[in-house]
């Protein structure tokens, strides 16, 4: 077997065997296959796809590329959440402490920015000194002690995804349903949790653009879960515009804290409450409605915010020292009308271009940059009224490119749905 034959086979649209998938992935981890060869194979997969058997096999090879966590020391049902990625998606920062405050332990491993989307770990690392690289022992002890920990992939958990995720990010090979499914599910299966809620984002600012694609991806992930005896629920949510108002690492942390104090944007709160209600109802075996009531109470009575503070403190973060850029520009609308569309992907790309994300694996993220939207879809804006504030670092930006992301019209958008449904 050799990698060039495997690349050619997929380039020509044939199905790969489990042995071929394992050969490519395991030899890539062992550095016997080069980045450029793996990039070619990933691109062939992006272009020609993989069927469900290949996707199950890819997940299994990923899963067994490293350790599989045993969280049995935490002796209640552990429920995890994962997002397929979007713009302004700071859901985990709110959800993890909120769910933990209801007594359901959240032992969460998160990722970094990918393509035009941000990543929870970069957002957390915007908090000065905050440690995301806990050892396994520290991770488990923290969950046992305070009920929540959010960390980057520890030691040797799914090293295949860690390496391939970083490569996909910089080779235009993120947008492939089988690659997304195997990347997400292998990590969730390896992390030792009992049940999994997936925030499957669709729309302009997501990797999945249509409801049809979401159904395919959701069903694959639910089926993968069943193969390993894990219950998976996919909640399909809109990413047709950024979630909340802030895009950029430090700015998103601030918005997450506001949401934990019931002062955040309503769309973010609704997504958090929906995902959280599934997590708490699965974790405590109670009804969705009862779970939602508990979550709302803990947002209002401050328990969720206190849990966030506890988590940050335990991971050595200094929230007081969080910084945002002082180079702020207010961009004004050139016309009057309704916001018919906000081009989320383009805004995500623009935030990456000013330093908020990465183009190469080695890039250092500027946590202080980003944007805060003053208007969302279907809001009315007057000529000369602020559309967005831009927080710049040392990279410049063409202001018109930002303004072009806001489509203004005399009519409102008809279909402005936030939650599309559930796949289970
Ligand atoms: N999130 C992941 O963890 N992996 C992907 O491939 C896409 C989103």
What separation, in Å, do the N-terminal and C-terminal C-alpha atoms of the chain show? 38
Q: Which candidate in 161, 199, 240, 267 is catalytic?
A: 161
Query: Which residues lie across from 370 on neighbouring strands?
Result: 391
Query: pLDDT confidence of 169, banded at 50, 70, 90?
Result: confident
Whether residue 361 has pLDDT greater than 80: no
Q: Which tokens belong to 117?
A: 């989307």
Whether residue 170 has pLDDT greater than 70: yes
| 183 is a catalytic site residue | yes
| 258 is a catalytic site residue | no
Q: Which tokens belong to 338?
A: 């309704």
Q: Ligand 1 mean position to 350 CA, how many Å? A: 20
Q: 145-154, 226-235, 338-347: which has the minimum mean pLDDT? A: 145-154
Mean of per-residue pLDDT scores for the chain: 95
Q: Whose CA is nearest to atom 3 of ligand 1?
A: 184
Span 183-208, pLDDT tens digits: 999 999 998 899 999 999 999 888 89
Classified as helix, coil or strand, 120 is: helix
Span 383-420, pLDDT tens digits: 999 999 999 999 999 999 999 999 999 998 888 899 99
Q: Ligand 1 mean position to 236 CA, how many Å? A: 15
Average pLDDT rounded to a whole number, residues 142-155: 89
Q: Ligand 1 mean position to 30 CA, how many Å? A: 22
Q: Ligand 1 mean position to 321 CA, how many Å? A: 30
Span 256-287, pLDDT tens digits: 999 999 999 999 999 999 999 999 999 999 99
CB-neighbour burial class of residue 300 (10 A; exposed 0-12, middle 13-18, buried 19+): exposed
- 136 closest CA partner among 154, 153, 161: 154
- The pLDDT of residue 155 is 66
Span 9-28, pLDDT tens digits: 999 999 999 999 999 999 99
| Angle at CA of residue 25, ends 23 and 30, nearest 5° | 90
Residues 367-385 as b/e (b if ≥16 CB within 10 A, e otherwise) read bbbbbbbbbbbeeebeeee
- The pLDDT of residue 265 is 98
- The pLDDT of residue 103 is 96
Q: Which tokens belong to 292?
A: 């939602």
186: how many CB neighbours lie within 10 A of its CB?
Answer: 25
User: What's the CA gap between 177 and 213, in Å, rounded?
Assistant: 8
100-to-277, 281, 405 alpha-carbon distances in Å: 12, 13, 37
Average pLDDT rounded to a whole number, residues 222-242: 96
Confidence (pTM)? 0.91
Q: Which atom of ligand 1 is nearest to the CA of 187?
A: 3
| 64 is a catalytic site residue | no
Query: Which residues lie across from 331 on neighbouring strands?
Result: 388
* Residue 76 contacts residue 128 (beta carbons within 8 Å): no
Span 94-123, pLDDT tens digits: 999 999 999 999 999 898 877 788 899 999
Ligand 1 pocket, residues with Cβ under 6 angstroms:
84-85, 111, 114, 179-180, 183-184
264-to-255, 256, 348, 367, 397 alpha-carbon distances in Å: 6, 7, 20, 20, 28
Span 119-129, pLDDT tens digits: 999 999 999 99
Q: Which tokens belong to 304?
A: 């969720």
Q: Whose CA is nearest to atom 1 of ligand 1?
A: 84
């Amino acid at each position: 077997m050799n990698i060039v034959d495997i690349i050619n086979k997929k380039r020509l649209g044939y199905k790969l065997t489990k042995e071929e998938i394992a050969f490519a992935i395991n030899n890539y981890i062992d550095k016997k296959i080069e980045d450029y060869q793996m990039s070619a194979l990933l691109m062939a997969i992006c272009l020609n796809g993989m069927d469900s058997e290949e996707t199950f096999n890819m997940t299994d090879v990923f899963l067994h590329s490293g350790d599989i966590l045993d969280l049995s020391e935490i002796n209640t049902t552990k429920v995890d959440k994962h997002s397929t990625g979007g713009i302004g998606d700071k859901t985990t920062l709110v959800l993890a402490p909120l769910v933990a405050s209801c007594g359901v332990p959240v032992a969460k491993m998160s990722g970094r920015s990918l393509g035009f989307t941000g990543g929870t770990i970069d957002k957390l690392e915007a908090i000065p000194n905050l440690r995301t690289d806990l050892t396994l022992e520290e991770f488990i002890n923290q969950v046992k002690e305070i009920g929540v920990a959010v960390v980057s992939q520890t030691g040797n958990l799914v090293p295949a995804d860690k390496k391939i995720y970083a490569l996909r990010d910089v080779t235009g090979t993120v947008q492939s349903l089988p690659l997304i499914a195997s990347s997400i599910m292998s990590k969730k299966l390896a992390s030792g949790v009992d049940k999994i809620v997936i925030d499957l984002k669709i729309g302009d600012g997501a990797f999945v653009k249509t409801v049809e694609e979401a159904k395919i991806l959701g069903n694959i992930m639910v089926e993968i879960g069943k193969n390993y005896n894990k219950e998976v629920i996919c909640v399909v949510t809109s990413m047709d515009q950024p979630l909340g108002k802030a895009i950029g690492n430090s700015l998103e942390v601030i918005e997450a804290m506001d949401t934990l104090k019931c002062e955040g944007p309503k769309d973010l709160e609704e997504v958090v409450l929906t995902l959280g209600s599934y997590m708490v109802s699965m974790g405590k075996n109670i009804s969705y409605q009862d779970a939602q009531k508990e979550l709302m109470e803990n947002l209002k009575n401050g328990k969720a915010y206190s849990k966030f503070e506890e988590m940050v403190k335990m991971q050595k973060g200094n929230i007081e020292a969080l910084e945002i850029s002082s180079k702020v520009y207010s961009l004004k609308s050139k016309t009057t009308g309704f916001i018919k569309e906000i081009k989320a992907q383009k805004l995500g790309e623009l935030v990456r271009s000013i330093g908020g994300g990465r183009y190469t694996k080695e890039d250092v993220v500027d946590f202080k940059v980003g944007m805060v939207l003053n208007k969302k879809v279907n809001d009315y804006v007057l000529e000369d009224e602020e559309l967005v504030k831009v927080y710049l670092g040392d990279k410049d930006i063409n202001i018109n490119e930002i303004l072009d992301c806001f489509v203004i019209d005399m009519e409102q958008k008809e279909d402005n749905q936030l939650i599309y449904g559930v796949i289970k």
